[in-house]
Structure 1
């Protein structure tokens, strides 16, 4: 599956104004109906969280957001999708993404949605450490809550970055990153860095495009109508991994933007649900 390669604004990054750099990563402004999509997502998640069989607010660490919501399948050995929420590591919460549970749960899967602390309260280093701690907790305590099958991690936007950063965790069978951010260098030059305060060390150690390839299955999905910087982070990471012989597909989804793409993980027959199912075949 191929898609036209957009022009990369980062090729002329030094010549861009601050507002142009900010716009290169501003998904909300790029998607004109994003307020409506976000409002519907949040309302649907509240209904799902209140109605589905679940074990909510389980602590995996000491900070307030270090909690995980579990939606166990009927079979404890069923595969489990662990989903990391987005928000550029500085907004949103696990509760706002419960609407994604039903699509994969219709196929007999469990779902786990961990929360994590947000910038500026913590650094991105801490956020990545917390995501690994959540997986440690799930490995140790998931079975007592009916979640003991193979784990596929998924995540959207900043959560897609966490998928790549935790791919080497021993609990993880494979990953499905959606609209991820994989090079932090340009992020430091945008308004997003006011909260993140990225250091040189973090850019080097927490940018998947600057790290050794992990030889584990990682599918990289993005909407064909997304901002070029996000499209290219996925295509560039896939090319890097492909050159190293690492398994995984590039999944450009026609007609989708940064927000609408999540519909493909909500529907039981959605393209991203199908992609996840294939990761444990």
Structure 2
């Protein structure tokens, strides 16, 4: 596993990025630059399998489900404690461009790190257009605060590694400075919001100039905690290049963390690397606390 991870870490290849000629693109081309579902031909089948597996596992794993951490409807967290209360905990943030999906659909990821004695926490969060991205970003620290205050009562009192996929990776970058977070793993994220405002995704998000400036990790000071940044080699160029750019920005500021290109993975299959006990990203998570 170590050799495979090292090989991937040295195989960085930038993709031709349509954002380099953004002003020349049609609306359809701009939308396509961020349309992961359309870019992966079998995305519907992959999503259906993920959801089915999560539904099956969520009801069978040792867990404490639907615990409220805030006042909004989606402010609930699912806990999957390990045998030891002091075991490290992976807190995972789901994706969906901040406007779809839910924590229940990602329970299948528990098996990966749980096989190595870790606990897992999966919070939900509110979605656009019901709330703004500013509101969404603000909910993640509240989930972490709740886990710090109440986790031990449910068998989770260990160190926390924060991880997330897609929109969840963006939220990881925004919450990395929380005092309970030891380190992070951001997977397939978007780290500059400016182009998003020019796509159909913004119909729900309604991003303001202030939000683009304050909520784009590529436009903010670097948090000096370890953050590994992963992406699939077959992802859309916008996501590949955002990942590389964010890693390079952090490296230039002296922040610790690896860039992990997952060879052959697309936006959906990359989650297998966190789902399988022998997955590259499971190994990466475990090494974050070395």
TM-score exceeds 0.5: yes
Q: Does 1:42 align with 2:12?
A: no
Is the partner of 1:251 in helix, strand or coil?
strand
Q: 1:224 aligns with which of 227, 233, 246?
A: 233
TM-score relative to the length of structure 2:
0.96
Query: Which runs of structure 2 are paired with 1:46-195 in the superposition (5 Å)?
Result: 46-195=55-204
Query: Distance between the aligned counterparts of 1:127 and 1:57, measured in 2?
Result: 18
* Cα distance, 1:11 vs structure 2: 1.1
Structure 1 residues 186-195 or 137-146, which shifts more? 137-146
* Cα distance, 1:2 vs structure 2: 2.4
* Cα distance, 1:3 vs structure 2: 2.2
Across the aligned residues of Structure 1 and Structure 2, the Cα RMSD in angstroms comes to 0.5
Q: Deviation digits for residues 205-252 of structure 1, max 9, x if unmatched? A: 000000000000000000000000000110000000000110000000
Equivalences, count = 281
Query: Distance between the aligned counterparts of 2:65 and 2:36, measured in 1?
Result: 30
Which 4+ stretches in 1 moved above 2 angstroms? none
Is the partner of 2:59 in helix, strand or coil?
helix
Residue 258 (structure 2) aligns with? 249
Is the partner of 1:132 in helix, strand or coil?
helix
Q: Deviation digits for residues 122-141 of structure 1, max 9, x if unmatched? A: 00000000111101111111
Q: Deviation digits for residues 169-194 of structure 1, max 9, x if unmatched? A: 00100000000110000000000000
Q: Does 1:16 align with 2:25?
A: yes
TM-score relative to the length of structure 1:
0.99
Residue 7 (structure 2) aligns with? none
